[in-house]
Amino acid sequence: MTEIWALLKRSPSDLTRVQQVSRGWRRLATGTPQLWTSPYITESTDADLLSLRLGRANPLPLSVEIDYRRSVNSLSIQGWVITREQIEHFTSLLEVLRSHSARWQSFTVFGPFYVAVLLRRCFDDHTLSIPMLTHISLDLVTTNFEQATGGPPEINSVFQHAPPILAIHTRGYQHFWGNFPFHSLTAITLGRFSPENTLDWNTFAGAASYSTNLLSLAFVGEIPSIAPHHNTSDTLFVLELPELTSLSLTHITSGHLRHLLQHLKVPGLRSLALMLADEDDMFLSFLQAVPAHFPRLETLAMEMLAMDEVAQLALGTFFTPLFHLTTLRLNFDSIPLVLWQALITPANRTDFMPSLREVDFVDVPVHSVQEFVGLRATAGHHIDVVSLHYSSHFPYTPLPPSSTTWLQDNTQAFFISDGDRNISIWM
């Protein structure tokens, strides 16, 4: 039943129909609080029905999700005009949520900035009780409304009386980092900003530096840089995060990499994930600097769309100094032959990634992986876990019985998937 609810939570009418399947289903649904702990709120949500469902979740913590993304499209057509009915309806939903705020555990908002305006109007009276809140996610899009009303509001004061917040995700909302009240974060995800809302590095670094227990940091699309209104000669802060163990860079350009090498110090980093938007000499320079900048790296995940042969050869030499690497994940949208050879050639050396125990590859022939595992075994370094994934560009070719037997004998766990279909799993 929990799995059914998770699939249907974005469709209230379907949830209603499921409860009508039988008397037993209705009794189970209405009497199981766990099924109602993730309210999903849109422009069409009914306030009375929301109140009923939140009551059914009592006394469990709530993961609140407000999704007004569909209104972004209408705003782009209608300009910044928002009807009184829209405001009154959303305010009524917020009032229902407010009555259950003592049980909020996570609070997620998707939509245009006017949602933030109404959040502040409804909640910003310094009496909001949110003793359980640990996660905040704001994914906001600029529209003509903000340009016509002088820009989006700061809503940090809404959350000032929360307990220590552990995780924050923001996209497009630089005002969140100005008067920053959160000093106990363990995770930050920073998404893409619009040209009208640029977060400068010093503002972000100044806020993040208070989170001395930060363990995970993710940049999606860009990193904070110098805002247009700042003098480019201003000194940029160096952000030191000694406890950080995980760094994720998604759709990052080489210019962003250069900035990070100069202004982010994370000596204790254990996990690095790279999904890069382009490839050039700066990317290779960054990779060559990885062993020195992140000497304790244990997990590396990389994905790129294209690489030339020079880059592939250079990347092959990059893996050798990663002495502590235990897990390697590569997705190059079909790993090029040159790069694969760069991995295979030194694979039988005892000094080549000696700690590597788990690999995860996309679109690599099984016989090639078998060769790699065999060479590592020859060097005395056994690969314990192998995961292979195949896309429509590179369909899976079934293993011959001899290969299946060999891989079972030489690995502790082996996973193969073709799209959404698991083909072979043993442990």
Confidence of residue 217 (pLDDT cuts 50, 70, 90): very high
* % of the chain beyond a pLDDT of 70: 67
Which amino acid, one-letter code, is at 123? F
215 has a pLDDT exceeding 90 = yes
Most confident of 110-114, 150-154, 228-232: 110-114
pLDDT in tens, 87-121: 889 999 999 999 999 999 999 988 877 777 778 77
Q: Which residues, other chains included, contact 288 with Cβ-Cβ below 8 Å and sequence gap of 6+?
A: 314, 318
- Give dist(CA 385, CA 383) in Å, integer: 6
Mean per-residue pLDDT over the chain, rounded: 77
User: Taking residues 278-293, what's their average pLDDT?
Assistant: 73
User: Taking residues 186-210, what's their average pLDDT?
Assistant: 77
The predicted pLDDT at position 383 comes to 92
The predicted pLDDT at position 111 comes to 80
In 142-283 the beta strands, taken as DSSP E runs, fall at 167-171, 187-190, 216-220, 239-240, 246-252, 264-265, 271-276
In 123-205 the beta strands, taken as DSSP E runs, fall at 135-141, 167-171, 187-190
pLDDT in tens, 21-42: 667 667 777 778 888 898 999 8
The predicted pLDDT at position 21 comes to 65
In this predicted model, which residue has the larger pLDDT, 130 or 122? Answer: 130
Give the pairing type, strands 385-390 and 413-418. parallel
395 has a pLDDT exceeding 50 = yes
Q: Average the pLDDT over each of 140-149, 160-169, 178-187, 241-250 and give the range with the smallest value.
A: 140-149
In this predicted model, which residue has the larger pLDDT, 255 or 328? Answer: 328
266 has a pLDDT exceeding 60 = yes
pLDDT in tens, 328-384: 998 866 566 667 777 888 888 888 889 999 999 888 888 888 889 999 988 889 999
In this predicted model, which residue has the larger pLDDT, 320 or 264? Answer: 264
- Contact present, 57 and 36 (Cβ < 8 Å): yes
User: Taking residues 259-264, what's their average pLDDT?
Assistant: 85
Confidence of residue 126 (pLDDT cuts 50, 70, 90): low
Tell if the pTM clears 0.75, that is, is over it. Answer: yes
In 332-378 the beta strands, taken as DSSP E runs, fall at 358-362
Structure-token match 């016989």, residue found: 367
Which amino acid, one-letter code, is at 129? S
- Give dist(CA 362, CA 149) in Å, integer: 48
The predicted pLDDT at position 154 comes to 62
10 has a pLDDT exceeding 80 = no
pLDDT in tens, 309-327: 666 666 667 787 888 999 9
Confidence of residue 81 (pLDDT cuts 50, 70, 90): low
User: Taking residues 246-255, what's their average pLDDT?
Assistant: 83
| Nearest alpha-carbon partner for 39 in 13, 9, 17, 69 | 9
* CA 402 and chain centroid, separation: 40
The predicted pLDDT at position 229 comes to 45
Local structure of residue 200 (DSSP, 8 states): B
Confidence of residue 59 (pLDDT cuts 50, 70, 90): very high
